């Protein structure tokens, strides 16, 4: 098995990280609820990712809940130097696994403390504020200024380093940029370009953009991609998978897009990491649009 490591980097805030990271959400059980069926296999994926050079792992206390953070700690602690652990706050799960808003400033502080405890770290490298601007636009949420202010207080206390925003609309992105956020984490892919304007806004201000659902969906993304003949054509030309084309398109879209594809499979992990070696030419990008 190859031991080559990733080489391409970009800035997350002022911290260089490899452009292909790892999203840990899929390490939990079905629907991101409960433990995985094979915890040791999930741990093996985490260890292999780090061995291959991944230095940006995205997690959240509400993945499981609790399960994924505890898995990361048991598999990787003590953490290798330079590994950036990124989490999200602002949501919770009920007993049936439903996703609930939990964005009051006091709740955000409590959630950061939970992440510190379960990951066994003194400081988070980055905390993303998970909003509901997109999935529940009519929801009355705490003022963004108050939420970011609570996280800034924890930053001043040394409990986190960088702050980002997730699942946000353009108005929230603009305000977040004014407040110095390090990244925006929104859904974005070759088949879902709703956030084209936000990506350009991030480019204009030199802010990292971290797309979730990079294949178009958390589950069934490859099926969505397969409906697009242009993606299949580019994949056939390069002798790669349609998923790899989708990830390579994102890397080509903006030099500070950072990928966090998730998987519980070693095979798929290697496939994702191999995207660094795929270069889409001008004809490919014109075809994909």
CATH number of the domain that residue 72 is part of = 3.20.20.100
**How far apart are the C-alpha atoms of 46 and 54, rounded to whole Å?**
9
Q: What is the CA radius of gyration of the chain?
A: 18
3-state secondary structure of 8: coil
Q: What is the pLDDT of residue 227?
A: 84
Place of tokens 């994102």: 250
* Count of structural domains, the chain: 1
Instruction: List, in sequence order, every residue forming a beta bridge with 162; answer none if it has no partner.
Output: 126
Q: Is position 268 within any domain?
A: yes
Q: What is the pLDDT of residue 194?
A: 96
Instruction: List, in sequence order, every residue forming a beta bridge with 29; answer none if it has no partner.
Output: none
Q: What is the pLDDT of residue 184?
A: 98
**How far apart are the C-alpha atoms of 88 and 130, rounded to whole Å?**
6
Q: By residue range, what is the domain housing residue 245?
A: 9-288
Q: Is position 150 within any domain?
A: yes
**How far apart are the C-alpha atoms of 25 and 262, rounded to whole Å?**
7
CB-CB contact of 129 with 151 (8 Å):
yes
Q: Is position 1 within any domain?
A: no
Q: What is the pLDDT of residue 204?
A: 98
Q: Is position 193 within any domain?
A: yes
Q: Is position 225 within any domain?
A: yes
3-state secondary structure of 33: strand
Q: Is position 3 within any domain?
A: no
Q: What is the pLDDT of residue 214?
A: 94
Q: What is the pLDDT of residue 1?
A: 46
3-state secondary structure of 269: helix
pTM for this predicted structure: 0.96
Residues 6+ apart with CB under 8 A from 262: 22, 23, 24, 25, 26, 27
Catalytic residues: 63
CB-CB contact of 144 with 172 (8 Å):
yes
Q: How many CA atoms lie within 13 A of 98 on its CB side?
A: 6
Q: Which long-range contacts (CB under 8 A, 24 or more apart) does 282-285 make?
A: 284/234, 284/237, 284/238, 285/249, 285/252
Per the rule left: phi > 0, alpha: psi between -120 and 50, beta: everything else, 206 is left
Instruction: Kindly give the pairing relationship between strand 124-130 and strand 99-101.
Output: unpaired
Per the rule left: phi > 0, alpha: psi between -120 and 50, beta: everything else, 216 is left
Q: Is position 154 within any domain?
A: yes
Residues 6+ apart with CB under 8 A from 288: 190, 230, 231, 234, 245, 249, 280
Q: Is position 232 within any domain?
A: yes
Positions of the chain with pLDDT lower than 50, given as ranges: 1-2
Whether the bond into 65 is cis, omega within 30 of 0: yes
Place of tokens 């953009």: 209
Instruction: List, in sequence order, every residue forming a beta bridge with 189; answer none if it has no partner.
Output: 192
């Amino acid at each position: 098995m190859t031991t080559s490591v990733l080489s391409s980097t970009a800035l997350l805030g002022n911290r260089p990280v490899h452009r292909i990271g790892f999203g840990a959400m899929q390490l939990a059980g079905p629907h991101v609820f409960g433990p995985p069926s094979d915890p040791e296999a999930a741990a093996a994926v985490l260890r292999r990712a780090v061995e291959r050079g991944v230095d940006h792992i995205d997690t959240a206390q509400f993945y499981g809940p609790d399960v994924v953070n505890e898995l990361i700690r048991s598999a990787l602690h003590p953490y290798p130097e330079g590994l950036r652990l990124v989490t999200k706050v602002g949501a919770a799960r009920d007993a049936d696994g439903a996703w609930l808003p939990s964005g009051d400033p006091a709740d955000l502080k409590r959630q950061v403390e939970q992440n510190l405890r379960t990951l066994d770290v003194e400081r988070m490298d980055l905390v993303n504020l998970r909003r509901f601007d997109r999935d529940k636009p009519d929801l009355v949420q705490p003022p963004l200024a108050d939420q970011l202010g609570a996280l800034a207080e924890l930053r001043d206390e040394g409990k986190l380093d960088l702050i980002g925003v997730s699942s946000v609309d353009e108005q929230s992105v603009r305000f977040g940029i004014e407040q110095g956020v390090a990244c925006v984490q929104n859904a974005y892919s070759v088949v879902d370009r709703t956030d084209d304007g936000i990506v350009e806004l991030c480019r204009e201000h030199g802010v990292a953009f971290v797309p979730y659902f990079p294949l178009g969906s958390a589950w069934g993304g490859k099926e969505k991609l397969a409906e697009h003949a242009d993606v299949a054509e580019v994949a056939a030309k390069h002798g790669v998978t349609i998923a790899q084309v989708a990830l390579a398109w994102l890397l080509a879209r903006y030099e500070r897009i950072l990928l966090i594809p998730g998987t519980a499979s070693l095979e798929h992990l290697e496939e994702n990491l191999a995207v660094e070696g795929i270069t889409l030419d001008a004809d490919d990008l014109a075809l994909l649009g």
